[in-house]
Amino acid sequence: MSKSSKVVPGSIVEGFVVCPFDNVHRLLPSRLAVHLVRCARNFPSAKMVRCPFNVTHVHSVADMMTHVACCPNRSTMVHYMNPETLPPVEPRPADFCVQSAEDWDAEPPAKTYNPRTHCENNFLILNPQGNAPAVRREIRERERRRFLQNNQF
């Protein structure tokens, strides 16, 4: 059985790009830049030059002047060289300062919260963690006496 190698229209081959160094090479457009670097090493005698606007555009020296005049990527360089033709940039909003009577650096009119005095005045049970066992025992005894004196039990 012999298999024919015909290219059917609408097949996978349509999405590929032809290498400018070797017409047999067919590759995906996303791989063209990498391939051109490698393929140029295999053809050092080829008089091919790269377009200054797009590295994937490779042409012969004779055709390059024509290509540069009508390259589709030339518009990017023209806009870069002539920035006055670009639309104007929106001006930055002016800095403003809000006048206020508040002074955040001044001390507050109310006293600050002290958790130790709050616990001593409101008969809360203290949890003496992080102390030695003897110190914890002493704190618990002191708290029992304080609660008994104020009839909290």
Cα distance between residue 97 and residue 120, in whole Å:
46
Contact 45, 21 (CB under 8 A): no
Cα distance between residue 13 and residue 20, in whole Å:
17
Break the chain into its structural domains and give their ranges.
13-46, 47-84, 116-149
- Please name the helix (run of DSSP H) or strand (run of DSSP E) that holds residue 124, with its range, or none: none
Residue 118 confidence (pLDDT): 82
Angle at 45 between CA 39 and CA 46, to 5 degrees: 65
Residue 83 confidence (pLDDT): 67
**10-residue averages of pLDDT along the chain (153 residues):** 42 77 89 90 87 88 88 80 67 78 80 81 77 90 84 61
| pTM: predicted TM-score of the whole model, two decimal places | 0.43
Residue 106 confidence (pLDDT): 82
